[in-house]
Amino acid sequence: MHERMREIIRFGPIERLEHLLLLISFTTLAITGLVQAFSEHRISLNIIQLLGGIENTRTVHHIAAIALVLLSIFHIFYVGYKIYVLKRPLSMLPGLKDVRDAVRLLQYNLGLRQEPPAMDRYNFGEKIEYWAVVWGTLVMGFTGYILWNPVLTTRILPGEFVPAAKMAHRYEAILAVLSILIWHAWHVHIKHFNKSIFTGRISLEAMEEEHALELQKIERGVWPPPLPPAQERWRRAVLYIPLAGLLALFMLLTTYYVFTEQTAITSIPPAPVEEAYRPAKPPGLPTATPAPDIARQIPKQVTRSAPAPMPITSHPVDEDRAGCNDCHAPFSYIDPAPLDHTDYVVGECTTCHEPAKEVSQR
């Protein structure tokens, strides 16, 4: 049989494009985020320098985060279109059959069953991975919003949410990366290289092994299910597309507002420092009667400029926001303090930085 005839179309161009954009945004977020979380390691410092510094690294991280949010918004409305307009079944929802398939597959791997379970279009492992991405995106989006907009957050929530979000953001990122490197890599790349999400096609052998029930439906001619009549699809599309467009516009405007909020403290350039007089060579020993032409020159008095005033915090320092190091420690996400402030303890910050009377507006 010809090789093309032994393949089945599994994914369309939109699903493949979604996966490609998710791959790019997730990888970018993982690299630029982990180097900030573990910036004390040499490899992290090298990557940060390669990206042009910490500010550029954060900018790239923020751009990738916005791209992931936009991709998530598109995915929501695309799935809604397939369900409402095209009347496609909810194949990704977990059910009792997935539990039975997991138990039967475990029995098969232990030698307690002769045949593996026949699984449908998406097996239980793929459903777990899909909903893990959904859960991870929600957690990372919520905690990332708090870290990006601490001032707006602390107007509504207690200040303890900021350091809590920092920890949740870090460890959820580690969990997501490990799940990709272990679970996803094993099932998709190591066990057998499934390239259907890139080519859109899957071999009959892979279908028989992982989606035998779907293959049986295809052979019986009952899958994919027939589309509704064209007139009905048109009527549903006329209703769905404008409503989805308005909701998408609202979500886009909300995204713009969320990701343009000013953070807690605005960085200011350091004050210029004039170097004190230093003679090129140490002067010779004075003589009893120095000659006028070899008299030691007296250096000119250097006038130093007054140090620039320290920046005033843009929020009050109250009980909820008294731990400065929770948000502004060196290498933190929110306007980190200079490296020479590492040994400062809570309470010393207000010695130089006067607390603001109220939260500054952007």
Q: Domains along the chain?
A: 7-259 (1.20.950.20)
Could you tell me if 36 and 30 are in contact, meaning their C-beta atoms sit under 8 angstroms apart? no
Instruction: Give the span between the Cα atoms of 188 and 211, in whole angstroms.
Output: 14
**152 vs 198, which has greater pLDDT?**
198
Please report, for the chain, how many H helices and E strands are present, in that order: 13, 2
Mean pLDDT for the stretch of residues 222-249: 92
Each residue's pLDDT tens digit, 59-102: 999 999 999 999 999 999 999 999 999 999 999 999 999 999 99
Instruction: Give the span between the Cα atoms of 203 and 212, in whole angstroms.
Output: 12
Share of the chain above pLDDT 70, in %: 77
SS3 state of residue 328:
helix
Q: What is the pLDDT of residue 337?
A: 76
Cβ neighbour number for residue 152 with a 10 Å cutoff: 18
Q: What is the pLDDT of residue 265?
A: 47
Share of the chain above pLDDT 90, in %: 51
pLDDT confidence tier of residue 272, bands split at 50, 70 and 90: low
Whether 141 has a pLDDT exceeding 60, the answer reads: yes
Mean pLDDT for the stretch of residues 170-192: 91
Angle at 354 (CA atoms; ends 258, 268), nearest 5 degrees: 60
Each residue's pLDDT tens digit, 281-304: 555 555 555 555 544 555 555 555
Average model confidence (pLDDT) across the chain: 83
Which residue type, as a one-letter code, is found at position 117? P
Q: What is the pLDDT of residue 177?
A: 95
**49 vs 353, which has greater pLDDT?**
49
Whether 49 has a pLDDT exceeding 60, the answer reads: yes
Could you tell me if 317 and 350 are in contact, meaning their C-beta atoms sit under 8 angstroms apart? yes
**Residue 13 token pair:** 């161009």
Cβ neighbour number for residue 284 with a 10 Å cutoff: 9
Q: Which residues contact 175 (CB under 8 A, 6 or more apart)?
A: 136
To which residue do tokens 């580690």 refer?
174
SS3 state of residue 9:
strand
Each residue's pLDDT tens digit, 311-355: 777 677 776 676 777 777 766 666 777 766 766 666 677 777 777
Task: Name all contacts of 171-178 with Cβ < 8 Å and 24+ positions apart.
Answer: 172/136, 172/139, 172/140, 172/143, 173/29, 173/30, 173/33, 173/34, 173/37, 173/140, 174/34, 175/136, 176/26, 176/30, 176/132, 176/136, 176/140, 177/30, 177/34
Q: Which helix (H) or strand (E) holds 7?
A: strand 7-9
Whether 24 has a pLDDT exceeding 70, the answer reads: yes
Q: What is the pLDDT of residue 71?
A: 95
Q: What is the pLDDT of residue 259?
A: 61
Each residue's pLDDT tens digit, 253-266: 887 776 655 554 44
Burial-class residue 338 by CB neighbours within 10 Å (0-12, 13-18, 19+).
Answer: exposed
To which residue do tokens 């307009």 refer?
85
Mean pLDDT for the stretch of residues 202-227: 90
